[in-house]
Amino acid sequence: MLSALTLILACQLAGELTTRFLGLPVPGPVAGMMILFAFLALKGSVPDDIGAVADTLLKNLALLFVPAGVGVMAHLSLLGQDLMPISVALIGSTVLTIAVTAAVMARLARASAGEEGAIKDD
């Protein structure tokens, strides 16, 4: 458990250092995810303790966004000036992005690999 947590933190640290030194346009933790993935691929399996720590963190992933979400409160005045365009752009663009991404993937995936990811065949 402790060694799994250490490995995850070490991957994040390595990711932060890599992105900073190479000036990569991805955040450190995302680079850390790739490093941990490479480690798992080399090992050929997910050790039980790492799986357990990761599952616990990810089961509660939504909770981790609460402090940042509350941060909106400190900056609400920034929204004031352009409230109308911001609301329409946020809602419209989020709905469109979800629709386009899902529609393209559903079509392409059906054309190539078949229905293996489907909940049920239609």
Partner 1 sequence: MTDLSDVWVYLNASPLLFLTLTLAAFQAGGWVYTRSGHKPFLNPVLTAVVLVVALLTLSGTTYESYFEGAQFVHFLLGPATVALAIPLYRQFDRVKRSAAALLTSILCGSLTAIGSAVGLGWLLGASRETLLALAPKSVTAPVAMGITEQLGGLPSLTAVLVILTGILGAVVGPIVLNLLKVKDWRARGLALGTASHGIGTARALQVNELAGAFSGLAMGLNALATAILLPVLWRWFF
Residue 50: partners with Cβ closer than 8 Å, 6 or more residues away: 4, 7, 8
Q: Is there binding between residue 26 and partner 1 (CB under 8 A)?
A: yes
Q: Is there binding between residue 1 and partner 1 (CB under 8 A)?
A: no
Residue from 1, 3, 17, 108 binding partner 1 (CB under 8 A): 108
23: left (phi over 0), alpha (psi -120 to 50) or beta: left
Nearer to partner 1, 3 or 101 (CB): 101
Nearer to partner 1, 17 or 110 (CB): 110
Q: Is there binding between residue 119 and partner 1 (CB under 8 A)?
A: yes
Of 50, 45, 9, residue with least CA distance to 29 = 9
Residue from 2, 21, 22, 25 binding partner 1 (CB under 8 A): 25
| Tokens, residue 113 | 């690999």
Running DSSP on this structure, what letter comes out for residue 81?
T
Residue list 42-101, contact with partner 1 (CB under 8 A): 46, 50-51, 53-55, 57-59, 61-76, 78-79, 81-82, 84-86, 88-101
Cα distance between residue 61 and residue 70, in whole Å: 16
